[in-house]
Amino acid sequence: MHKIQRLFGLALIANILIIAPALAQGNAASFNPQALLRTSLEWVDSLGTLGFVAFIAIYVIATIAFLPGSVLTLGAGVVFDVIQGSICVFIGATLGASLAFLIGRYLARGWVSKRIAGNAKFNAIDQAVGREGFKIVLLTRLSPIFPFNLLNYGLGVTGVSFRDYILGCVGMIPGTIMYVYIGSLAGSIAMIGAEDQPTDPTVQWAIRIIGFIATVAVTLYVTRIARKALQEAVPETEVVSKMKVRS
Angstrom distance (rounded) from CA 33 to CA 51: 20
Report the chain's mean pLDDT, rounded to a whole number.
76
Mean pLDDT in each 10-residue stretch from start to end of the chain (247 residues)? Answer: 50 49 48 83 91 95 90 92 94 95 84 65 71 85 82 86 93 89 81 62 72 75 68 53 47
- Scanning 117-158, the segments in alpha helix (DSSP H) are 120-131, 133-142, 148-157
pLDDT for res 5:
46
pLDDT for res 72:
93
Q: Count CB neighbours of 147 within 10 A.
A: 11
158 with 129: CB under 8 angstroms?
yes
How confident is the model over 93-141, as pLDDT tens digits? 999 999 999 988 888 777 666 665 666 666 666 777 788 888 888 888 8
Total count of domains within the chain: 1
80 with 47: CB under 8 angstroms?
no
10 with 95: CB under 8 angstroms?
no
pLDDT for res 150:
85
How confident is the model over 68-82, as pLDDT tens digits? 888 999 999 999 989
Question: Range of 132's domain?
Answer: 2-246
